[in-house]
Amino acid sequence: MKKLLIATTNPGKVIEYRVILKDLPIELVTLKDAGIKDGVEEDGNSFEENAIKKVKFYSKFVDFPALAEDAGLEIDYLNGEPGVKTRRWLGRESSDEELINLTIEKLKGVPPEQRGAQLKTVIALNINGKINTFEGIIRGIIMEKPIEKIIMGYPFRSLFYIPKIKKVLGELSMEEEAEFAHRKQAVEKALPLIKQYYLC
């Protein structure tokens, strides 16, 4: 079976990719599976730059295709913040609780109709040295306070309400989210290339 490196250290994202790609004959290999312990600095000015940088870096360790991504939250009222600096919004690597509290504080008193936001994922797919990028976006509203359940590594999911399904993203399992959210949208755009390589 042909392999695909999923270049992320986030176990939740690995679960999502397993769900999204479950119908294809692909062996998904994690960084841990491949024995890759090195990391890369995410200092790009956009999700796309970071995704490309990561896939180039991790592709050096394997002789099969690799997929990397960068993702984050963009809040309309804050002109797209935190954006590419999502995890480092405070100027340093921040805890989930710190990021939730900062979001609440920055939007204090802002009415519901101005609390629109989007979660964006850009994936970079490297097949035979050629890199292509694909984007996925899901729109929602930032709640005034988080739900009780906070998913480690995904702080904004406890605040991100999706009117379409009348639920906060954090109320869904990773498997449920993988069926429709931003990551799936990005992968679906990449599917023609993925199928061309893996089904030939």
Which active-site residues does the annotation give? 70
Q: Which residues of 57-66 are buried (b: 16+ CB within 10 A; e: fewer)?
A: bbbeebebbb
Is the distance from CB of 70 to CB of 84 less than 8 angstroms?
yes
Is the distance from CB of 18 to CB of 33 less than 8 angstroms?
no
Q: Give the C-alpha separation, 122 to 155, whole Å.
A: 19
Q: Give the C-alpha separation, 190 to 20, whole Å.
A: 12
Q: Give the C-alpha separation, 41 to 136, whole Å.
A: 23
Q: Which residues contact 56 (CB under 8 A, 6 or more apart)?
A: 126, 131
Q: Give the C-alpha separation, 96 to 42, whole Å.
A: 18
Q: What is the dihedral of CA 129, 86, 139, 102, to 10 degrees?
A: 170
